[in-house]
Amino acid sequence: MASLADTGSYLDQLYREKFNREPDEAGKAYWQAEIDSGKTSPERVAELFDASDEAKEIKQEKEADNRNFIESTYELELDRDADEDGADYWTEQLNSGTQTRQEVVDNIRSSDEYTENARDYLEGLYDEILERDPDEEGMQYWIEDLQGGQTREQVRENFDISDEKWLGDVYKDELGRNLGDTGRNYWLDDLKGKNEGQDGRKATREEVLDNIRRSDEYACAQSGGIWDGSTCNTSNPEDTDPEDTDPEDTDPVDTDPVEEPGEVFDPGHREPDRKPEEEDDGGTRRLYDDRYQKLKSDYDDLKRSYDTEFGTRRDEETSRLRSGFTVGGFPGSRRTNLSSGSTATSDRSRKRSQITAGPKVKDDRPYARQGMRSGSDTGSTFFDPSSSFR
């Protein structure tokens, strides 16, 4: 016969297992007396527990709950209603204790149907967020992420905060075009520290942005021009005959040659490489080049004209004194013209010892009210009133 302590422990466990609760005092005392007196064996007590109304009700509730779990799992993991056969199979696995709920979910996630549905979902994210077709390596990574327990909402959030999404936004904001394959691969490697010369040091997003802003393409985009991979065309695209240009030839995603990493200067660890010129595009590039050269020529002519006129006026106003005497002159001496920097004296005898240098225009140089004495260095900064000059 078992001891009272052993019988009590057995009954505590039996109540929790069959009824999912602690034993009530009266019920435990009754069954303990039955076992200790030898009237009923412990095994028979377990059978009687299973046959009780309480146990049957609990079993029905548990089976219904397992069925609901399977149906919701189908909706969540397979995005469809559960078929009858499948639901029956997985529910029985739970009811019999053959598999836990987590094991059922893991098995569903490893099914071909789940993988195919995951691919469809991920393809939508690639198209919507990254605006490209998925690569197999990336697809497999995200499928394993989903199979490992990540929800679809969590995967979407990870797409939104990814380096590639950030880089695509930078290209649109800074260069006015979509991110292409070459640029994507280069800058993502830069962020991972895989490019030549990095020695494993990962570039920050700020460093990548700074390097993009150092590129010729960025300067072209800021000026409103069109970057063709080697030059910036600033002519008005509206002047080009639409029949001369095939839209397929100018797809920024497929044909834009600036994706070559060397087009952007990175001062830290690499020299720029230049991508060879692309093939003729039907005359569009030549048209842009001609217009660009004409605009550049007109600009150079205007600049030369402005520099000539501005230099002449400045020379007249700031570089010559129209009258005065050399230092040591005397009243009545013949006036001479003096270049800026020369010393001169007033032609009035009472101011003979005061000298001046530089432009006659007061506002163009410093002003010393008391003047300088004869013998001061060339370039002195005294300005005498206009009455002292003729």
CA-closest candidate to residue 227, choices 165, 150, 288: 288
- Give 311's pLDDT tier (boundaries 50, 70, 90): low
Domain boundary assignment for the chain = 4-109, 112-161, 319-390
How large is the average pLDDT for residues 294-313?
Answer: 70
CATH architecture of 4-109: Orthogonal Bundle (1.10)
How far is it, in rounded angstroms, from Cα 261 to Cα 236?
A: 28
Residue 330 has pLDDT above 60, yes or no: no
Residue 326 has pLDDT above 50, yes or no: no
The pTM assigned to this predicted structure is 0.49
What does residue 355 show for φ and ψ, rounded to 5 degrees?
-120, 165
How large is the average pLDDT for residues 10-39?
Answer: 92
Q: What is the DSSP string of 226-268?
A: EE-SS-EE-S-GGGS-GGG--GGGG-TTTT-GGGSGGGS--TT
How large is the average pLDDT for residues 4-31?
Answer: 89
Residue with tokens 């010129």: 277
Residue with tokens 């834009």: 256
Count of Cβ atoms closer than 10 Å to residue 76 Cβ? 12
Provide the phi-psi class of 342: left if phi over 0, else alpha when psi is between -120 and 50, else beta.
Answer: beta
Q: Is 170 helix (H, G, I), strand (E, B) or coil?
A: helix
What number of residues does the chain have?
A: 390
